[in-house]
Amino acid sequence: MPSSVVQSTLLGPARIQRTRRKGSRLPAGAVCVSRPSRLGNMFAIERLPRHLFGEFGADPHRVYDITGRVPFRIEENIYPDRFIASVCAVRNYELHTGPFGSHEYDADTRAFIASIAGRDIACWCPLVVPGTNHPWPCHGNSILRWANNLPEDDFDEGADL
């Protein structure tokens, strides 16, 4: 069964969107980076009830830390839609858990990230922003960049939208 794939470069590793469709399997050699894997994004997105949070936008969402390590006040992390919340969740992931983050990965996890260089990764995030060719913001793009020493421009999350 063909997979949904976003190429990070013409011939390089790609991010694959996982699916629960019958017969769907993780491609051989691909690495799953969704929760609860060791590389899952600790920053989750939650839709908020519009009747309570409608002043923030037509489809309010919030970003929160599922581990409780990063304290957030709810009013500081409400966004008008899922896309903007996704951008913020990825940026928080990079800020707090990336190579220079305040919760830097342990040596074993850093070695694991280095070991997946050149391999595809899989996550549940959408691949593209609906109606465009722009990649959907996903921490998997950050992991591909870190593992393969790629510049940030290869993924261009949320740019020019």
- Lowest mean pLDDT, pick from 11-15, 36-40, 141-145: 11-15
Q: What are the beta bridge partners of residue 131?
A: none
- For 130, other C-beta atoms within 10 Å of its C-beta total 8
pLDDT class for 32, splitting at 50, 70, 90?
A: very high
Q: How far apart are CA 119 and CA 25, in angstroms?
A: 16
- Can you tell me the mean pLDDT for 47-67? 81
4-14 confidence digits (pLDDT tens): 555 444 457 88
Q: What are the beta bridge partners of residue 128?
A: 135
Q: Would you list the domain boundaries of the chain?
A: 33-118+134-161
Instruction: Say if residue 18's pLDDT is above 60.
Output: yes
Instruction: Say if residue 113's pLDDT is above 80.
Output: yes
Residue count (the chain): 161
pLDDT class for 99, splitting at 50, 70, 90?
A: low
Contacts by residues 147-154 (CB-CB < 8 Å, ≥ 24 positions apart)? 147/13, 147/113, 147/114, 147/116, 147/117, 147/119, 148/8, 148/12, 148/13, 148/117, 148/118, 149/117, 150/8, 150/9, 150/12, 154/8, 154/9
Q: Residue 139 corresponds to which amino acid?
A: H
